[in-house]
Each structure stands twice: as structure tokens, then as C-alpha cells.
Amino acid sequence: MKVVIDQLSAQVNAEKKKAAGAKVAVVVSQCLAEAKRVGEAGGDKAVVRVTSLVDGKLAKDIFKQLGKECPSVAVMMLTVDDAKDSYSAFAGAPKGVAVDCKMWVGAAFKGLGGRGGGKKDNAQWNVTGRGTVGDSEAKAKAF
């Protein structure tokens, strides 16, 4: 019985990994397109409202790929969770990009509540009530 359970667990984990990889690929392509557009225009910060839910672990994988493919632009992803009536932001800056992600997310969410934190090269923020996502997006773009 234990062998069967272990096999089924391995299959479930393989499917989860495959699904996460597909989600990362979609989000990376969304973010990469905007990051390249911003970089070509001489900017160093791209803000993208992504269509998939992203968590901290996926964000790490996404920023790793973005740093390789577009190393001159910091990216902030905004992801909305309709089921929880909340949204999150994840910001990451490749080495050498002079964007302080902690300050960036702090400015984007100033006065909107929520909680978050991070470091200069990566930060995140979560807010209950998805109605202010447009405000956060506008503040992030203006930073």
C-alpha cells in the first residue's frame, strides 16, 4: 500500500510541477514583453498586471528568468485573487539595476493598507480588497 501511495504522490507532484512551469512561462512572457518595451524606451521599471495568480515561490522563479532575459529592467507584477478579494505585488530588480524594490512597493501602496516588505532587490505587498489595484498600478508606474 505504501508503494502505491508513494507512486501516486510522485505523480501528483510531477503534475503540480508541470502546471507551475506552464504558469511561470505565461507570466514570464507577459512580463518580458513589457520589460523589453520599457527598456527599449530607456526606462528601468515595468509594471505588469498578470493574468495568473502568483505566489512568492513562483515570483522567485519568474524573476530569475526575467533577470536573465532582460537584465536592465526591474519588474513589478500585480496579481489579483478574485476568490479572496485581494491582490498582491511582487517586485524584483536584477543586479545592477538601481531600483529599490522595497521603496517602490511602499510607494505603490502608500495609503492603501495591506502589508508587505522586502529588500532592495525584491519585495512584495498584499492588500485585501481588489478595488484599489488600479491605484497601486498607477502609483507604481509614476514612481
Instruction: Average the pLDDT over 1-5 and give the result.
Output: 85
* Count of the separate structural domains present in the chain: 1
Instruction: Average the pLDDT over 91-117 and give the result.
Output: 93
Q: Which residues contact 38 (CB under 8 A, 6 or more apart)?
A: 44, 45, 46, 73
pLDDT-derived band of residue 120, with 50, 70 and 90 as boundaries? very high
- The sheet that has 122-128: what strands, in order across it? 45-50, 74-81, 86-92, 122-128, 115-118
Which is more confidently placed, 27 or 131? Answer: 131
> Residue 137's domain is classified under what CATH number?
3.10.310.40
Per-residue pLDDT tens over the stretch 38-80: 999 999 999 999 888 888 888 888 899 899 999 999 999 999 9
Per-residue pLDDT tens over the stretch 10-26: 888 777 777 766 667 88
Task: Give which of 44, 63, 47 is closest to 55, Cα–Cα.
Answer: 63
What residue numbers bound the domain in which 12 lies? 2-142
